[in-house]
Amino acid sequence: MNIHQKQKAPQFTEELRQYLLQVGIRETDLLKKLREQTASMPERNMQILPEQGQFLTMLVKIHNPKNILEIGTFTGYSSLCMALASPDVHITALDKNIEWTKIAKKYWQEAKVDNRIELIMGPAVESIKILPNQHFDLVFIDANKGDYLNYYEEGLRVLKPNGVLLVDNVLWKGRVIDSSYTDSSTNIIRELNTHIRNDPRVDICMVPIGDGITIVRKLVAEEGLEPPTPGL
Ligand code: CA
């Protein structure tokens, strides 16, 4: 038996999640309103969960980033969380959908954070190319999975040393371990997860919150580029 199978994590049931939502988060009325509006849309599952919003909020408060890049904005819940977390935050938000970002802009205005969020419309894979090296303190990747490898590499390029990069949907509804899924999105997420695991340029922590978020910290030069220990 693999040594990691001997120690079990508690099973995270839906009932336990409901408890977490009751006592583990503080969602403002405006965030709740945005979530409720998005819930009526067919693409509602593209929105991060409220506990993930709280997670982003806390990360911003702890890490205190000045410049944030968000790849995939949708209706603006995650950007609103991050903008509300600190008055010092400036967000560059990438998305290509006019209908979704119209909703985002409405809520940014209502929260009076719209002056700190710059929306760049167009395919993120193109928009990101024009962004400068090592400009951002935090990068949040949550867009089309087909370009995830590209977003990761470009995200690291624009990230400052000691900066934090977050990747959403790394567990991909459990499909990452289900070999019956051979579609390109699932394969790309598997490939990216392994790539990040073996990337000597970063520290990593995969967190099973929502559909899974990997936290990556870009090493500073003095930390060297020692390869990580082999996978188990
Ligand atoms: Ca997502």
Contact criterion met (CB below 8 Å) for 207 and 196? no
Q: What is the mean pLDDT of residues 108-136?
A: 98
Look at the domain 28-35+48-218 and name its fold: Rossmann fold (3.40.50)
Q: How much is the pTM?
A: 0.94
210 alpha carbon to ligand 1 midpoint, in Å? 9
Residue 202: in which H helix or E strand, if any? strand 202-207
Q: What is the mean pLDDT of residues 117-131?
A: 97
Paired strand residues for 107? none
145 alpha carbon to ligand 1 midpoint, in Å? 9
**Furthest-apart CA pair in the chain: how many Å?**
55
Does the structure show a pLDDT above 70 at 227? no
12 alpha carbon to ligand 1 midpoint, in Å? 19
Alpha-carbon distance 155 to 157, whole Å? 5
30 alpha carbon to ligand 1 midpoint, in Å? 20
88 alpha carbon to ligand 1 midpoint, in Å? 25
Paired strand residues for 93? 70, 119
Q: What is the mean pLDDT of residues 105-133?
A: 98
Output the pLDDT for position 232.
55
Output the pLDDT for position 231.
60
pLDDT tens digits, one per residue of 132-180? 999 999 999 999 999 999 999 999 999 999 999 999 999 999 999 999 9
31 alpha carbon to ligand 1 midpoint, in Å? 17
143 alpha carbon to ligand 1 midpoint, in Å? 7
Output the pLDDT for position 222.
83
Domain ranges of the chain: 28-35+48-218
* Residues, CB-to-ion distance under 5 Å, ligand 1: 142, 168-169
Contact criterion met (CB below 8 Å) for 169 and 195? no
Share of the chain above pLDDT 90, in %: 90
Alpha-carbon distance 114 to 91, whole Å? 10
CA quadruple 182, 156, 96, 108: dihedral sign: positive
167 alpha carbon to ligand 1 midpoint, in Å? 9
Output the pLDDT for position 230.
65
Alpha-carbon distance 58 to 74, whole Å? 21
Output the pLDDT for position 65.
98
Residue 84 Cα to chain centre, angstroms: 16
